[in-house]
Chains A and B, each alone.
Chain A
Amino acid sequence: MPILNKLVIFDENNIEDSLKKAISSEPQDVVMEIRESGLKGRGGAGFPTGTKWLLARSAHADKKFVVCNADEGEPGTFKDRILLDEYTKLVFEGMVIAGYAIGAQKGFLYLRGEYRYLFDKLTKYLEQMRKENRLGNNILGSNYSFDIEIRLGSGAYVCGEESALIESLEGHRGEARNRPPYPVNTGYLGYPTIVNNVETFAVAHIIVAKGAEWYSKYGTSKSTGTKLLSISGDCKKPGVYEVPFGTTISDILKLVEAENTKAVQVGGASGFCIPKAEFDRTVAFEDVSTGGSVIIFNETRDMLQVLENFMEFFVEESCGQCTPCRIGNVKLLEGLMKIRNNDCSLSYIHELVDLGRSMQIASKCGLGQSSPNPFISIMEHFENEIFSQR
């Protein structure tokens, strides 16, 4: 997999000894540095990382936990795999720094079941860190002790949702929890817990080294820094790219040498479909937000088939606990089948779009809240095309 466009994370020159720097400063200063950098969660939801850390830091409890969400399951996302495989230091040390910042003693790497092949390598890396006293008791001679355990997921997409991930860590069925309470107060085993994406920890590592001011030179005012994108689909150079926030879709298409592009699905199956007319939109939390997945469709693609593919995914991956997601996705998919069989009125599709809007607000977790996104956006932009082809 080619790694292209080295800016911040992918620039080896940026990898400095952040761990030493972090541990020799006050924990709250680390949190403040992250806050000032404007770093937002790289899993896609975009919650300000510094705020999350601050909330966990100020929660009263005898134990706290750091969880790295490496359950990279969004269709079309593969950037965390690269980070784990080739930038392991950034991720694990980022977790130690986070643990130091919030006052945690233990961290978990929740590794996607399909990434089992990385398990041994990562375990060896942790052993190495312990040997070098970068993990374990009295890290780098300080009073701070922290250890990391790797836990494997079992293939459920929903376990990428932070509270379902915590349930899974506790040995329960992977199902999202009610919010509030939030994990920063009531997380793993009821203790304050931060769950951050792999990339977030890597970025935090760099921010500690280079400073918030340096980092926020990249990106836009509301979305500072850079973003790793996993780009796939109809293009000549698929791969993992690092781009500053604010990059337009058309610039990205140029970068990967995509031609005759009809639409771009940003944010994976749970993201939005951007039609050609909107290629001047930008990748940013304030515009088109993504956890990293960018899938390109050229003129030959049947958007109905694309959408069917996404909806089949959600029907299978819904955890099944809440009504809107469990049954709603089935109804959306059934609607597509009806279209395929020329058995669907336009008004029924509008009814389903309406249902999708209810699912977006009434589902229990991010899965059900975002699963109607492709349905709604593809129907918004390609309804005529889909119906005229039948």
Chain B
Amino acid sequence: MEKTQHTHRAPVSHQPLVVEKGNLGEIGSLVEVEINGIPYKVPIGTTILEACRQNNIHIPTLCYHEDLCLAGVCRICVVEVEGMKVLPTSCTFPITNRIKVRTTSEKVRKARRHILDLLLSEHYGECYSCHRNGNCELQTLAKEYGVDFYRFGHITERRHKVDKSSYSVIRDMDKCILCKRCVRTCIDLQEVGALEATQRGDMTTISTFLDKPLADVICINCGQCINRCPTAALKANDPSDEIWAAIDDPEMHVVIQTAPSPRSGIGEEFGCEPGTSMTYKLNTALRMIGFDAVLDTNFSADLTIMEEGTELLLRLKKLLVEGDSSVKLPQFTSCSPGWIKYIEHFYPDFLDYLSSCKSPQQMFGAVIKTFYAQERNIDPNKIVTVALMPCSAKKFECNRPEMTDSGFKDVDYGLTTREMAQMIREAGLHLPELQNSAFDEPFGDTGSGLIFGATGGVMESALRTAYALVTGRPVPFENLQILPCRGFEGVREASVLLENVLPDWSFLEGVNLKFMIAHGTANAKKVMDALARGELKDIHFVEIMACPGGCIGGGGQPIPTSPEIRQKRAELIYNEAADLEINESFRNPSIKYIYEKFLTEGPCRHLSHKLLHTHYVKRGKYID
């Protein structure tokens, strides 16, 4: 399972206790702790909260999150430790010697209730007019503690303006309880640092640099903060009203493409266990809602592989055959719009290393408004393209001014998994009970695009295709499963030896194709710093996903998130992929079809460059 690694940006005090030899005893040695009169044994350094959770003793939490460094600020998890005058927070208290803990004493219950009452007194608005109604940690606690009145009053007027500046993330600080999960997500988990607490006392608020609108600062739109917000202070910019309007307009042909990750997560919105497949039920739901066509983003993922793989081979050829030393290697993937904005802000001098390929979402948008319109004989002016994505950054991406190569806005709306679930609920449908149905043609077949959803998936797909193109043989891995690509390690590195290559690719004979995979921008930073130090000279290809776990952990996915949930979503994707007949992008009949019928010059040629490739913006960190 994914291990949370804390970076140097987390203050020392926010890091979990490190038990070293000689520090507090042997690593892994057990210590006895008495909780509510019952003795337990736990490894030394275990926090009281962990000890309680391991033993099914419930402790409420708000600021604690499995993925994040410690804060100990909400104080809701306080417990009584014998011999201490004050109540420590169980989430921060490491057990290093024999202690006696009470989780249910009068002091503890009163303090927790007081804390809850205080938070509620400053929590603006009512639950029934809130998008987190039914999935709010504060609301859950209020129910748990039987809150039926506001002991210390209730705020009746807004104190903050809602920041709707960003295409991706909307901030409503009147809903904020100052747990700082977003701050810790941004600065520690993702190492971006767009959010921080400003002011103090009751004036404290989570803010941006100089309180600028989120759209004007270095936010990369990854939405990881949304996934970890316990309340409704953060949400994605929801386009569902516009989408409903398009659906309800009989003149408009509304096409939706669905990515694999939302399909792996959306069941959670309907009470299913993480890792429950909804792909084909979702198709039915979307048609019932009124979408005119339901297409599979796997197609354009395969298309991405064709273009990106070819681009890599061309770069290698330029270097090895033409001896052009200006070729930028390693080539970095460009599917993740959060990663793109990250590199534009933080490493603007390295944009040439990025593949020029658009993301699958944007490629599909351009194809729908050109080839699809042509094939189906529909006026592209009357086509609305919606992309169901696990991602908040996709909303920004589809609004980038350069994403209009079809002559229209290539993708009109990016919709998150959560917003899709809301539309389905609103239509009165219960997703898990629906029948299965297939995707619409002509892009109904799947190659290996499915596994894009998990970190390493793009790399694995690209290698399958590149290896096969170069050698004429499938990759030398059992069932084509390139296991070194899989897993949740922050930065992974592996290689594939190219042997007995086809004559066209003789310059690659004996080349050990080396690749790296990183997920989460904190890990991307490690890779980029290594690149800047000149340490990646022998690497050919790097996959980077902005979100921890890859797209399955995207900022548009169902809340909550945890390493365990992300693992289950990834497992589902790999299991579904294992059942596919075709597992190589270039063998996908739909891919063959589009290169025969439309992109007739082949990958990375004139028309595909026009429609499927893009350029990037040197943003830097300077803020006006």
Could you say which residues of chain A place their CB within 8 Å of the CB of B86? 360-363, 369
Q: Which of A133-141, A170-178, A264-272 contacts B (4 or more CB under 8 A)?
A: A170-178
**Chain A, residue nearest B203 (CB):** A320
**Chain A, residue nearest B107 (CB):** A361
Please report the number of residue pairs spanning A and B whose Cβ atoms sit closer than 8 angstroms. 129
Could you say which residues of chain A place their CB within 8 Å of the CB of B96? 180
Q: Considering the chains assembled together, what is the distance between the CA atoms of A364 and B89 in angstroms? A: 8
Interface centre among A156, A178, A360, A363 (most CB of B within 10 A): A178
Cβ contact within 8 Å between A167 and B11:
yes
Could you say which residues of chain B place their CB within 8 Å of the CB of A359? 114
- Known contacts A358-B115, A361-B86; A319 and B200 CB within 8 A of each other: yes
Q: Considering the chains assembled together, what is the distance between the CA atoms of A318 and B201 in angstroms? A: 4
Q: Considering the chains assembled together, what is the distance between the CA atoms of A322 and B118 in angstroms? A: 11
* Interface residues on chain B, size class: 35 or more
Within 8 A of A (CB), among B146-175: 151-153
Q: Considering the chains assembled together, what is the distance between the CA atoms of A186 and B114 in angstroms? A: 31
**Chain B, residue nearest A356 (CB):** B114
**Chain A, residue nearest B12 (CB):** A190
Could you say which residues of chain B place their CB within 8 Å of the CB of A60? 22-23
Is A323 positioned at the interface, with any CB of B under 8 Å from its CB? yes
Could you say which residues of chain A place their CB within 8 Å of the CB of B114? 324, 328, 354-355, 358-359, 362
Is B85 positioned at the interface, with any CB of A under 8 Å from its CB? yes
Could you say which residues of chain A place their CB within 8 Å of the CB of B624? none
Is B197 positioned at the interface, with any CB of A under 8 Å from its CB? yes
* Interface residues on chain A, size class: 35 or more
Could you say which residues of chain B place their CB within 8 Å of the CB of A357? 110
**Chain A, residue nearest B116 (CB):** A323
Cβ contact within 8 Å between A177 and B11:
yes
Q: Considering the chains assembled together, what is the distance between the CA atoms of A254 and B96 in angstroms? A: 50
Is A330 positioned at the interface, with any CB of B under 8 Å from its CB? yes
Could you say which residues of chain B place their CB within 8 Å of the CB of A123? none
Is B582 positioned at the interface, with any CB of A under 8 Å from its CB? no
Cβ contact within 8 Å between B111 and A321:
no
Within 8 A of A (CB), among B387-403: none
- Known contacts A321-B178, A361-B107; A178 and B70 CB within 8 A of each other: yes
Interface string of A356-377 (1 = CB under 8 A from B): 0111111110000100000000
- Known contacts A354-B110, A358-B111; A323 and B75 CB within 8 A of each other: yes
- Known contacts A321-B178, A361-B85, A364-B73; A326 and B111 CB within 8 A of each other: no
Cβ contact within 8 Å between A362 and B12:
no
Cross-interface CB contact of A318 among B115, B152, B196, B200, cutoff 8 Å: B200
Cβ contact within 8 Å between B121 and A331:
yes
Cβ contact within 8 Å between A319 and B201:
yes
Interface string of A180-194 (1 = CB under 8 A from B): 110000100110000
Cβ contact within 8 Å between A328 and B118:
yes
Cross-interface CB contact of A178 among B72, B153, B201, cutoff 8 Å: B72
Q: Considering the chains assembled together, what is the distance between the CA atoms of A134 and B24 in angstroms? A: 37
Within 8 A of B (CB), among A316-345: 316-324, 326-331, 334
**Whole-angstrom distance from the CB of B241 to the nearest CB of chain A?**
35
Could you say which residues of chain B place their CB within 8 Å of the CB of A327? 118-119, 121-122, 152, 202
Could you say which residues of chain B place their CB within 8 Å of the CB of A158? 200
Interface centre among B178, B180, B200, B204 (most CB of A within 10 A): B200
Q: Considering the chains assembled together, what is the distance between the CA atoms of A193 and B363 in angstroms? A: 57
Interface string of B113-141 (1 = CB under 8 A from A): 01100110110000000000000000000
**Whole-angstrom distance from the CB of A330 to the nearest CB of chain B?**
5
Cβ contact within 8 Å between B152 and A172:
no
**Whole-angstrom distance from the CB of B312 to the nearest CB of chain A?**
43
Is B17 positioned at the interface, with any CB of A under 8 Å from its CB? yes
Could you say which residues of chain B place their CB within 8 Å of the CB of A361? 78, 85-87, 107, 111
Q: Considering the chains assembled together, what is the distance between the CA atoms of A206 and B71 in angstroms? A: 40
Q: Considering the chains assembled together, what is the distance between the CA atoms of A328 and B75 in angstroms? A: 12
Within 8 A of A (CB), among B71-91: 71-76, 78, 85-89
Is B13 positioned at the interface, with any CB of A under 8 Å from its CB? yes
13 more contacts with CB within 8 A, not counting A172-B11, A321-B178, A330-B202, are A163-B13, A167-B11, A315-B201, A319-B201, A323-B178, A324-B75, A324-B114, A326-B201, A328-B118, A354-B114, A361-B86, A362-B86, A364-B89
Listed in ascending order, the chain A residues whose CB lies under 8 Å from chain B are 60, 156, 158, 163, 167, 170, 172-173, 177-181, 186, 189-190, 315-324, 326-331, 334, 351, 354-355, 357-364, 369
What 3 A-B pairs have minimum CB-CB distances, sorted nearest first? Answer: A320-B204, A177-B13, A327-B118
What are 9 sample pairs from A and B whose C-beta atoms fall under 8 A apart?
A178-B70, A317-B200, A320-B200, A321-B178, A324-B75, A324-B111, A351-B151, A362-B114, A364-B73
